[in-house]
A and B are shown apart, each in its own frame.
Chain A
Amino acid sequence: KQEVTQIPAALSVPEGENLVLNCSFTDSAIYNLQWFRQDPGKGLTSLLLIQSSQREQTSGRLNASLDKSSGRSTLYIAASQPGDSATYLCAVTYSGGGADGLTFGKGTHLIIQP
């Protein structure tokens, strides 16, 4: 059974700091990896998608990297803002064609202190 682990479970940092969230997965044969943001009681907002042939993706202040061989991904957030406070979820899928669902980690609960 595939497992996705996210470390740390919670993180609180002052505004303006750069930070890194970690995700690891047990089976390196992933098809793609997706980072989401979840606000309390809300849905999931897709942040970045990294396909298995890619090593990183960037969107604004966010940068996600993927190292398949070691089974790891990181989400780097630059110049954090209070509005970045949310739970960040990492999820992987193991086949293409849309048949396979995403396997999620439990998330990192991030608080940015003003």
Chain B
Amino acid sequence: EPEVTQTPSHQVTQMGQEVILRCVPISNHLYFYWYRQILGQKVEFLVSFYNNEISEKSEIFDDQFSVERPDGSNFTLKIRSTKLEDSAMYFCASEGQAPEAFFGQGTRLTVV
């Protein structure tokens, strides 16, 4: 069964460093998303991406964040200068013609 895959599963980084979280969405999907979940809190929408550009972004998605689809399969989230409060689980999701979102297993980002 097709699935969304994310790498790495866990990333530890020092405050101020840049991190890139990687996702391979389901192959024939058109819409791509990043969400985050701070420990004990709700899953929060960060950004949606369609047709090689950002469709929507939340207030959380500030200038420190960027997304890219560098080739036909990968979808990345970059955080330029990590802060302690960026520590969270980051989920990638994709959606095809049917409006059902499929999520990856997440990357746990720990900023120290």
The residues of A with any CB-CB pair to B shorter than 8 Å are 31-32, 34, 36, 41-46, 49, 51, 89, 91, 93, 96-107
Which residue of A34, A36, A49, A98 is within 8 Å of B48 (Cβ)? A98
Given A43-B104, A99-B50, A101-B35, A93–B99 Cβ distance below 8 Å? yes
Instruction: Decide if B99 touches A96 in the complex (CB within 8 Å).
Output: yes
The complex places the Cα of A89 from the Cα of B95 at a distance, in Å, of 18
Closest to B3 in A: A43
Instruction: Decide if A32 touches B48 in the complex (CB within 8 Å).
Output: no
* B55 at interface by CB-CB < 8 Å: yes
Instruction: Decide if B58 touches A101 in the complex (CB within 8 Å).
Output: yes
The complex places the Cα of A42 from the Cα of B100 at a distance, in Å, of 19
The complex places the Cα of A99 from the Cα of B99 at a distance, in Å, of 11
Neighbouring A residues of B75 by C-beta, 8 Å: none
The complex places the Cα of A96 from the Cα of B95 at a distance, in Å, of 11
Neighbouring B residues of A46 by C-beta, 8 Å: 100-103
Known: A49-B98, A49-B99, A102-B101. 7 other contacts (CB 8 A): A42-B106, A43-B104, A45-B103, A51-B99, A99-B50, A103-B45, A105-B42
> How far does the Cβ of A7 sit from chain B's closest Cβ, in whole Å?
15
The complex places the Cα of A69 from the Cα of B35 at a distance, in Å, of 28
**Size class of the B contact interface (CB-based, 8 Å):** 20 to 34
Neighbouring B residues of A98 by C-beta, 8 Å: 30-31, 48, 50, 55, 95, 99
Which residue of A31, A43, A45, A101 is within 8 Å of B45 (Cβ)? A101
Neighbouring A residues of B102 by C-beta, 8 Å: 46
The complex places the Cα of A36 from the Cα of B104 at a distance, in Å, of 12
Closest to B96 in A: A98
13 pairs, CB–CB < 8 Å, chain A vs chain B: A41-B108, A46-B102, A49-B99, A51-B99, A97-B50, A98-B30, A98-B55, A98-B99, A99-B50, A101-B58, A103-B45, A104-B44, A106-B42
The complex places the Cα of A52 from the Cα of B46 at a distance, in Å, of 24
> How far does the Cβ of B93 sit from chain A's closest Cβ, in whole Å?
8
> How far does the Cβ of A40 sit from chain B's closest Cβ, in whole Å?
11
Instruction: Decide if A31 touches B104 in the complex (CB within 8 Å).
Output: no
